[in-house]
């Protein structure tokens, strides 16, 4: 692949809930996140493709989406009927999928390629806002079952070379994800954990890695993430920019009735 310049950053985004960009009634609740997602592509105008780790795909081993034109997975429940007919037409890129699998294998992280896997809403909901013309080829990559933080830091580390090949690495999750307390009941826990996450993102190297390995010991950790699948995309983005600090590009304290949520970009040029 042809190298691109400059080296691209990596990003963790909070992707919202379900198919919200296709729901006009949701627009007021998502106005601040919408503004952020629309702005983000200006930070990496040279990106030619995307590799995205979504919270909504887990597999026994890291698995790469290999379809040339992925279909749609409507992995949500109880939404309006029309939201089960939406389509996001971004192309895949089988050659990039092969490159991802090669890099992972070389790092001792055996990977599979799934030629049938479609896009889930952790991908197409934020991408509909970021790239409404669906012009960038996008390859999704699974989490690995077991949800081990170190493996997902290593996942990012293994794919860091793609940053020099014009490929943007995105972790798509939520900085707070406790559906039983998704609203005012989660205000205190989300704010407490978000503070820890921001402090951690500002670190680099082993100091940050160690905090992320031990994330469940952080203040309000299990209140914010009873299960960590929505946090591990942050580990991926951090691992791919291991020695580079992150900046918080989005910070909302009244999301969905009082939650604190954030996005982070690692490795922005000074």
pLDDT tens, position by position, 137-190: 999 999 999 999 999 999 999 999 999 999 999 999 999 999 889 889 999 999
The radius of gyration of the chain from alpha carbons, rounded to an integer in Å, stands at 17
Count of domains observed in the chain: 1
Cα–Cα distance, 83 to 7 (Å, whole number) = 37
Asked if residue 4 is part of any domain, the answer here is: no
Number of H helices, E strands in the chain: 8, 8
Is pLDDT at 1 greater than 70 in this prediction?
A: no
Would you list the DSSP string of 41-92?
A: GGG-TT--EEEEEEEEEEESSEEEE--SS--B-----S--GGGGS-------
pLDDT tens, position by position, 205-261: 999 999 999 999 999 999 999 999 999 999 999 999 999 999 999 999 999 889 999
In this prediction, residue 6 carries a pLDDT of: 85
Asked if residue 56 is part of any domain, the answer here is: yes
Averaged pLDDT, 91-107? 98
CATH number of the domain residue 162 falls in: 3.40.830.10
Is pLDDT at 47 greater than 80 in this prediction?
A: yes
Helix %, strand %, coil % of the chain (to 5): 40, 20, 35
Cα–Cα distance, 215 to 161 (Å, whole number) = 26
Q: How sure is the predictor about 269, in pLDDT bands with cuts at 50, 70 and 90?
A: confident
Is pLDDT at 2 greater than 80 in this prediction?
A: no
Asked if residue 104 is part of any domain, the answer here is: yes
Averaged pLDDT, 33-61? 97
Asked if residue 5 is part of any domain, the answer here is: no
Asked if residue 2 is part of any domain, the answer here is: no
**What is the residue-averaged pLDDT of the chain?**
96
The tokens for 52 are 């995205």
pLDDT tens, position by position, 53-73: 999 999 999 999 999 999 999
Asked if residue 57 is part of any domain, the answer here is: yes
Cα–Cα distance, 207 to 212 (Å, whole number) = 9
Asked if residue 246 is part of any domain, the answer here is: yes
Asked if residue 43 is part of any domain, the answer here is: yes
Cα–Cα distance, 140 to 27 (Å, whole number) = 26
In this prediction, residue 5 carries a pLDDT of: 64
Look at residues 92, 91, 110 and name the one whose alpha carbon lies nearest to residue 101. Answer: 110
In this prediction, residue 257 carries a pLDDT of: 87
Question: Which backbone phi and psi does 248 adopt, to 5 degrees?
Answer: -85, 115
Cα–Cα distance, 96 to 107 (Å, whole number) = 17
Percent of the chain with pLDDT over 90: 95
The answer to whether the beta carbons of residues 50 and 136 sit under 8 Å apart is yes
The tokens for 46 are 């040279």
**Domain range enclosing 109:** 10-266
In this prediction, residue 3 carries a pLDDT of: 47
């Amino acid at each position: 692949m042809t190298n691109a310049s400059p080296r691209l950053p990596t990003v963790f985004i909070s992707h919202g809930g379900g198919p919200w960009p296709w729901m006009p009634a949701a627009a007021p609740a998502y106005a601040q996140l919408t503004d952020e997602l629309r702005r983000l592509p200006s930070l990496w105008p040279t990106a030619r493709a995307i590799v995205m780790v979504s919270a909504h795909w887990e597999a026994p081993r890291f698995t790469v989406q290999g379809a040339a034109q992925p279909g749609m997975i409507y992995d949500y429940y109880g939404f309006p009927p029309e939201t089960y007919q939406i389509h996001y037409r971004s192309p895949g890129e089988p050659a990039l999928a092969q490159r991802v699998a090669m890099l992972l294998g070389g790092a001792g992280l055996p990977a599979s390629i799934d030629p049938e896997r479609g896009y889930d809403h952790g991908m197409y909901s934020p991408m509909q806002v970021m790239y409404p013309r669906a012009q960038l080829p996008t390859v999704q990559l699974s989490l690995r079952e077991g949800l081990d933080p170190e493996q997902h830091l290593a996942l990012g580390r293994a794919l860091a070379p793609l940053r020099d090949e014009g490929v943007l690495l995105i972790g798509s999750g939520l900085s707070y994800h406790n559906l039983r307390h998704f609203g005012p009941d989660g205000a205190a826990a989300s704010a407490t954990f978000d503070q820890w996450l921001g402090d951690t993102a500002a670190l680099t190297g082993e100091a940050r890695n160690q905090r992320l390995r031990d994330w469940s010991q952080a203040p309000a950790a299990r209140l914010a993430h009873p299960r960590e699948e929505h946090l591990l995309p942050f580990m991926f983005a951090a691992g791919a920019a291991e020695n580079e600090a992150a900046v918080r590009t989005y910070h909302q304290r009244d999301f969905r009735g009082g939650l604190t949520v954030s996005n982070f970009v690692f490795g922005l040029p000074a």
